[in-house]
């Protein structure tokens, strides 16, 4: 069954090669672009398929040598056959992973929302730590980060922050960060040195474009008001802040960070589109979950996903069961090890489902 599927993909790839060399297709830009993207997406799969077919051929040839060769050749052939057969299940697993349906959102940029949870000022300080961690990680991957709105506290903490992280594949790396992040540490204000537990929630939304979500202007109520907080006379005395209410869903988004009302409205619309996109995707996910009786990687924000324990320099991810004694490095944005582990874990869960 696996071989039939692989041959089907290889034949499709060969058909695309023929189409891309057809002058009639080449002359129609949209057609050529569509086939080029499809060809590019199949190329790594086909390369792995051909590696697998060669392996099967090598196994067959080596088994034939074993049945015909003399004792010296048989000994060498037996060693080689064992190595080849050891590689076979590894290669089959790699192929199955490549055959998993691709999440069309994976290449998208993201809107990240971080909110202080239980724990008062300490939770706000932890929310600021998390935002710095994701900022450092974005910088390490050459992604652009832009604050859309922020509510800060006087102690350097953050009650709530919404930011855009622009970069190819940002969603594929950050989508498993949604949920409750818990911190255990001694607050700076705690005289007795007792460890407190606080929390912050993180939501990672794929950034939706206008083609992903159609918003009817008549469904929107747009209010303008004077911005509050620091910013000087230009911000605080003009009606530059924007609040948008999406009447059918009751979603409310506001932005006041820019001096320009137009820029604030654009940023607010970006967040609104992403939230509406997430609502629709969640609805579809629930429908699919009911059909297949389980749901992998839902990104439920109410789920406690990770604990950061400062006294022990420990970070524990509650989904994979992985514990790392690298808290300082993680907070400096060195997240690849924990994110790679999550991707491997959820791919394995998807393979089980299949």
- HSE-CB at 51 with a 13 A cutoff on CA atoms is 15
Q: Band of the pLDDT at 171, cuts 50, 70, 90?
A: very high
pLDDT higher at 123 or 188: 123
Are 353 and 294 a contacting pair, CB within 8 Å?
yes
For residue 201, list its beta bridge partners.
115, 180
Distances (CA, A) of 307 to 95, 198, 303: 34, 10, 12
- Res. 102: pLDDT tops 80: no
Burial class (CB in 10 A: 0-12, 13-18, 19+), 62: buried
Q: What is the pLDDT of residue 293?
A: 40
**How far is Cα 352 from Cα 297, in angstroms, rounded to an integer?**
13
> Above pLDDT 90, what percent of the chain?
44
Determine the pLDDT at residue 232. Answer: 44
pLDDT of 133 > 70? The answer is: yes
pTM more than 0.85: no
14 SS3 class: helix
Mean pLDDT of 159-164: 94
Structural domain 110-212+295-353, CATH architecture: 2-Layer Sandwich (3.30)
Sheet order of strands, 304-309 included: 144-152, 158-166, 110-116, 196-206, 179-185, 304-309, 314-317, 323-324
Residue 293 or 169, more confident: 169
Q: What is the mean pLDDT of the chain?
A: 85
Give percent helix, percent strand, percent coil of the chain, each to the nearest 5. 50, 20, 30
At 211, the pLDDT band (50, 70, 90 cuts) reads low
Give whichever of 58-67, 69-78, 111-120, 124-133 has the largest mean pLDDT: 124-133
Mean pLDDT value of segment 169-182 = 94
CA distance 285 to 304: 20
CATH number of 217-284: 3.30.160.20
Q: Which of 300, 324, 322, 321 is nearest to 313 (CA)?
A: 324
pLDDT at 291: 40
- Least confident interval from 13-17, 82-86, 190-194, 320-324: 190-194
Measured distance CA(114)–CA(119) in Å, rounded:
15
Across 62-76, 104-118, 246-260, least confident range: 62-76
């Amino acid at each position: 069954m696996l071989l039939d599927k692989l041959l089907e993909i290889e034949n499709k790839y060969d058909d695309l090669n023929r189409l891309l060399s057809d002058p009639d297709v080449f002359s129609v830009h949209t057609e050529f672009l569509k086939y080029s993207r499809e060809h590019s997406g199949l190329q790594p799969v086909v390369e792995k398929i051909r590696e697998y077919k060669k392996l099967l051929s090598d196994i067959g040839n080596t088994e034939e040598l074993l049945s015909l060769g003399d004792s010296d050749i048989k000994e060498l052939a037996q060693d080689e056959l064992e190595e080849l057969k050891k590689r076979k299940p590894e290669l089959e697993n790699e192929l199955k992973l490549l055959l998993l349906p691709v999440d069309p959102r994976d290449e998208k940029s993201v809107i990240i929302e971080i909110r202080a949870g239980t724990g008062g000022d300490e939770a706000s300080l932890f929310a600021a730590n998390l935002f710095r961690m994701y900022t450092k990680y974005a910088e390490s991957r050459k992604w652009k980060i832009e604050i859309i709105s922020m509510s800060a506290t006087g102690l350097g903490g953050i009650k709530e922050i919404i930011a855009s992280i622009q970069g190819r594949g940002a969603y594929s790396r950050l989508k498993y960060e949604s949920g409750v992040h818990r911190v255990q540490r001694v607050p700076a204000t705690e005289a007795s040195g007792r460890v407190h537990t606080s929390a912050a929630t993180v939501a990672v939304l794929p950034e939706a474009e206008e083609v992903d979500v159609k918003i009817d202007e008549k469904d929107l109520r747009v209010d303008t008001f004077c911005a509050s907080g620091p910013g000087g006379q230009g911000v605080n005395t003009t009606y530059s802040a924007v609040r948008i209410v999406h009447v059918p869903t009751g979603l409310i988004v506001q932005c006041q960070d820019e001096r320009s009302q137009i820029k604030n409205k654009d940023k607010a619309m970006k967040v609104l589109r992403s939230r509406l996109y997430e609502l629709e995707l969640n609805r579809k996910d629930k429908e699919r979950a009911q059909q297949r009786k389980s749901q992998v990687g839902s990104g439920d924000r109410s789920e406690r996903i990770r604990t950061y324990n400062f006294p022990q320099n420990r970070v524990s991810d509650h989904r994979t069961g992985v514990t790392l004694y690298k808290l300082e490095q993680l907070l400096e944005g060195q997240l690849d090890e924990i994110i790679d582990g999550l991707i491997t874990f959820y791919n394995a869960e998807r393979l089980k489902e299949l």
